Structure 1
């Protein structure tokens, strides 16, 4: 699903109501933008369900497009989703996962990120999020980390490329704190963090990051994500192939203890 459909279902519903009212009156998006005192691009995003309407939107729009009561009732149900809509199906599965294995080759995984590291990534996102959206996404990402200590415990494994550890996301202080966070989380008995060293000339991870997940029903799934698009894979042969690739990457990774030593070394050099 494209990133342009990031809003919650209630936001898309409200946007559809506004568009229907506007078109019924023969009003253009520019006319509506001029009437409410906001940009045309914001009006378009509200109608698509990508942006929450400003607090006074209904009051300002009603004289031009009518339907004040309809908009008011629709606005009463507005709620933002915690995550982009394309991520929500996976997020629901992640909360109750029995096992979760992840490989990342660009950034530290969201389940391991510090608040400042996550804020840097989301602030620099190509989606150009508004400040309040950034904060909402940061808190939602941090809340996912309850999986670390949830009862019953989930078995979590993380493979991360060594190159990711050296990229100073947010600056050296932010990156150092992030590496220390990896060392802290890695001490939990149900979590293994392993580094794939730069000395490996090639391995199956070059195809990109992956997540392997086992549900409470013992169903094996894979989750793939790229450029604000995501795919849940449940076809047995495909999932099996990804498990094999993950196993090959893990076989080339440093042990958890060796990885912790390398992470501490890199943190000390920042």
Structure 2
């Protein structure tokens, strides 16, 4: 499980062609993309079109058509829409957009999203940027655009979309309990510019007022700080099991052993106690917003 909240998801699509490369290590994703490719090829051949003719008809190159049909390229939604229209598939190809959408994100992101979707409780301390579940689209885009080595625009788009998709956790019913502790410095660093920061602060205030969400701020002037070793995240499930990760424990690997989880719970509990209370934190964020 990757539980980084600051944004480690990276897409694998190239910038030279529409679509995304298939991760060869993602067996389930490879199988889905291959099945979609076979269907497109079958419909094309049934229509009596060569790959070049079909590509010209839908507005894409022959090489891309071969890659999609061969399961080596994940088609964009508009590719499937045009293919469905040109081949007269009656919605059968367009309907595959849902399957493709699920596999276009890196496997570790999909795995994290599935865990978050099952969790009844999430606890996260972040030391660099607001947790991915708390970021606005503009803020997330600014983060990915400043990465070095630089991401392609296609990779930025994919990574941002993946992060926004995870935020469906706020729409779940029954709602999970969500707790976040964020460093003061991330409220003041103007990632993406002052207006992007302002909207990010406004978003934190909005989310922090939800009844199932608690956002706390760790002031920079704290002399005692249990989070100096880095980020901590815990996901707890309805059956009593849990999975967690901390940059400063267990070689930063995901853990699920109850004894190890207890250590992370203890660390996070102390971090929460050292931070401002949720009410004080919202007032603090409002103060920073007024200064921005």
Q: Normalized against structure 2, the TM-score is what? A: 0.66
Structure 1 segment 164-179 matched on structure 2, within 5 A: 164-179=186-201
Structure 1 residues 127, 233: CA separation in 2 closer, same or farther (over 3 Å shift)?
farther
Aligned to 1:57: 63
> What are the Cα deviations for residues 158-191 of structure 1, in whole angstroms up to 9, with x where unaligned?
0001111111111111111101100000110000
Distance 1:242 1:265 in 2: 31
Structure 2: stretches of 5+ with no match in the other structure:
3-7, 14-19, 31-59, 76-99
Contact 2:120 2:177 in 1 (8 A): yes
Contact 2:11 2:158 in 1 (8 A): no
Aligned to 1:12: 23
Structure 1 segment 129-168 matched on structure 2, within 5 A: 129-168=151-190
Distance 1:225 1:143 in 2: 25
User: SS of the residue aligned with 1:153?
Assistant: coil
Aligned to 2:235: 213
Moved more, 174-183 or 141-150: 141-150
Aligned to 2:216: 194
Root-mean-square deviation (Å): 3.4
Q: Normalized against structure 1, the TM-score is what? A: 0.71
Distance 1:4 1:143 in 2: 12
Distance 1:169 1:99 in 2: 29
Structure 1: stretches of 5+ with no match in the other structure:
18-53, 60-67
Structure 1 residues 260, 85: CA separation in 2 closer, same or farther (over 3 Å shift)?
same
Distance 1:6 1:116 in 2: 17
Distance 1:160 1:82 in 2: 30
Structure 1 segment 41-56 matched on structure 2, within 5 A: 56=62
Contact 2:191 2:197 in 1 (8 A): yes
Structure 1 residues 86, 127: CA separation in 2 closer, same or farther (over 3 Å shift)?
farther
Contact 1:13 1:74 in 2 (8 A): no
Contact 1:100 1:214 in 2 (8 A): yes
1:96 counterpart = 2:93: no
CA shift for structure 1 position 269: 0.5
